[in-house]
Amino acid sequence: MTTTKVKEKKKEIYTYEAPWYIYGMNWSARLDHPYRLAIGSFLEDYTNKVEVLQLNEETELFECKGTFDHPYPTTKIQWIPDRTGSRADLLGTTGDYMRLWEVTEKKVELKCLLNNVSRVVR
């Protein structure tokens, strides 16, 4: 009689407590940054926050990789759908306007602010 060991798949649950209520969030799909997400705050103030979190697989804890101010709560947060990492690492947020942010290892920088103000010339 032979016994074969079957490697059991371990269920993993990770938690993170934000310093404020979370209003928007989205997971990154990039293979070079697994388990990364962006979360947006819900503060009753003009200035809200967005945090970029990354799971440290050794400590099994989420670590903040960057925080930036955002006017109003983020109604939507979306990473660029680039699994291979061949494009710039972009993050889009909406609130009062749509903003595009570039995320690097050292900083998060606003790249573009888009609004839909149309002017009628008479």
What are the tens digits of pLDDT across the range 28-73?
999 999 899 999 999 999 999 999 999 998 998 999 999 999 999 9
Mean pLDDT of the chain: 88
Query: What is the residue type of 122?
Result: R
User: How far is it, in rounded angstroms, from Cα 38 to Cα 68?
Assistant: 11
Q: How confident is the model at residue 118 (pLDDT cuts 50, 70, 90)?
A: low
Q: Are strands 98-103 and 108-114 parallel, antiparallel or unpaired?
A: antiparallel
Structure letter (DSSP) for residue 84: S
Query: How large a percentage of the chain has pLDDT more than 70?
Result: 87
Average pLDDT over residues 82-104: 94
Do 75 and 95 contact (CB within 8 A), yes or no? yes
Output the CA angle 48-14-104, nearest 5 degrees.
50
Structure tokens at 2: 């032979």
